[in-house]
Amino acid sequence: MTSDINTLLFDLDGTLINTNELIISSYLHTLEKYFPGKYQRDDVLPFMGPTLHQAFASVDPERVEEMVADYRAFNIAQHDALVKEFPGVYQTMKTLMEKGYKLGVVTTKKFDVAMKGLRLLKLDPFFEVVIAMDHVKKFKPEPEPILTALEQFGSTPAEAIMVGDNYHDILGGKNAGTLTAGVAWSIKGRDYIAQYEPDYILEQMPDLLTILGV
């Protein structure tokens, strides 16, 4: 019953903010340096969702730290130019906050970079809790980051929905015991997110208001 829901947790990249071009460009820039001519746009889509260390370890376990450093340097330099907003996100968050919902972000990004994106799109005032990779030992789809956010809110899993664009978000929510909502604007497509059987699929962010009866 969504009437019991008082806490909404959101993934950041690809869910709240459109960092798709930034992430793809950052991966392609980095991989081109280490593996010239080997990686194209479609090749890096599977890297979206895991942590940078997990993604680069699958490519070259010996040079992970170097590649992560190069990725982050490019990503920060290009951040404000390439990050865009998703339609309806700002107004939906504003409405939810005004209605008294607890709003949090659970991301595999570093905290400072996550806040950079939230501030750029003026979303930061809406989120009381932001759990980043700095704050946990295990990442989505492990339940730790979601449960950590809920603990800070004083909420139970039964009172929460985890919203995201990747299987890590949906399985993370299921593993933590929350309801889950997948977003159809995932760069990997609606069918991709649907196969993980979230409780809801949002065609656009304002759909959340309908689900909650706001």
Report yes or no: 44 and 27 within 8 Å, Cβ to Cβ: yes
Helix (H, G, I), strand (E, B) or coil at 30: helix
Q: HSE on the CB side for 11, CA within 13 Å?
A: 30
**Active-site position among 11, 13, 70, 165:** 11
Q: Does the annotation mark 42 as catalytic?
A: no
Beta strand pairing status for 84-85 and 17-18? antiparallel
Report yes or no: 211 and 181 within 8 Å, Cβ to Cβ: yes
Helix (H, G, I), strand (E, B) or coil at 8: strand
Using CB atoms within 10 Å of the CB of residue 38, give its burial: 0 to 12 exposed, 13 to 18 middle, 19+ buried: exposed
- CA separation for the pair 147, 106 (Å, rounded): 10
Q: Which residues are catalytic?
A: 11
